[in-house]
Chains A and B, each alone.
Chain A
Amino acid sequence: GAVVSQHPSRVICKSGTSVKIECRSLDFQATTMFWYRQFPKQSLMLMATSNEGSKATYEQGVEKDKFLINHASLTLSTLTVTSAHPEDSSFYICSARDAFGTVNYGYTFGSGTRLTVV
């Protein structure tokens, strides 16, 4: 089945530093990947839609200069949290869907990255 790999699973960083999170589709090609954020005991909120070879589309209220998204290939999207602050601490999850519809599993999610900024 469709598998999405996300790394790292957990990261602790100092305030002011940047953190990069990788999302890979392992057995399918994904022209579009999605990045979500989830605060404790809350639902998933879509941050941005990452399109291979073009700029990401950000949801209202999400700072594009703070959350840099790069989707350089059909199997890899990265989210960089720049100049992280404690309020950026959250659970970040990526998702992708098979571009060619050969794997009818809907949207597959990575295992998430728990970011703690100290």
Chain B
Amino acid sequence: GIQVEQSPPDLILQEGANSTLRCNFSDSVNNLQWFHQNPWGQLINLFYIPSGTKQNGRLSATTVATERYSLLYISSSQTTDSGVYFCAPVSYSGAGSYQLTFGKGTKLSVIP
């Protein structure tokens, strides 16, 4: 199956700083999703981005499918941004189905 690598595994930021999280994947994918898992375990959709760049407030994401990577940018970080960020490429799993494969995540801690 597809392999997903996220970096860095851990990141500590001072409030107000910017950061870039990276997701590499080993095979062609149909789409890619970024999630934020909050301390209570809820997975929150951030972006559904097969290619190109999307922006939502202080967050933006870029996927370069031909080079098999995606980046998540967080600008002017806030303490509420803390949590684990997962990328999950969407790939065909057979019999007309698609599935997500999760990376191990980047644990972000934003300190005041």
Contact = CB atoms under 8 A, between A and B. Distances in A.
B97 A43 contact: no
Interface stretch (A14-22, A63-71, A72-80, A108-116): A108-116
Contact of A43 (B31, B33, B99, B103): B103
A117 B103 CA distance: 27
Nearest to B93: A49
Interface string B81-99: 0000010101001010101
Interface residues of B, number: 22
A102 interface: no
Interface residues of A, number: 23
DSSP class of B's interface residues: helix, strand, loop or mixed?
A: strand
A17 B101 CA distance: 31
B48 A43 contact: no
Contacts of B100: 34, 46, 95, 107
Contacts of B105: 43
Interface of B: 31, 33, 35, 40-43, 45, 48, 86, 88, 90, 93, 95, 97, 99-105
Interface of A: 32, 34, 38, 42-46, 49, 51, 57, 91, 93, 95, 104-109, 111-112, 114
22 contacts: A32-B97, A34-B99, A43-B104, A43-B105, A46-B99, A49-B93, A51-B97, A57-B95, A57-B97, A93-B41, A93-B43, A95-B100, A105-B48, A106-B45, A106-B48, A106-B90, A107-B88, A107-B100, A109-B42, A109-B45, A112-B42, A112-B43
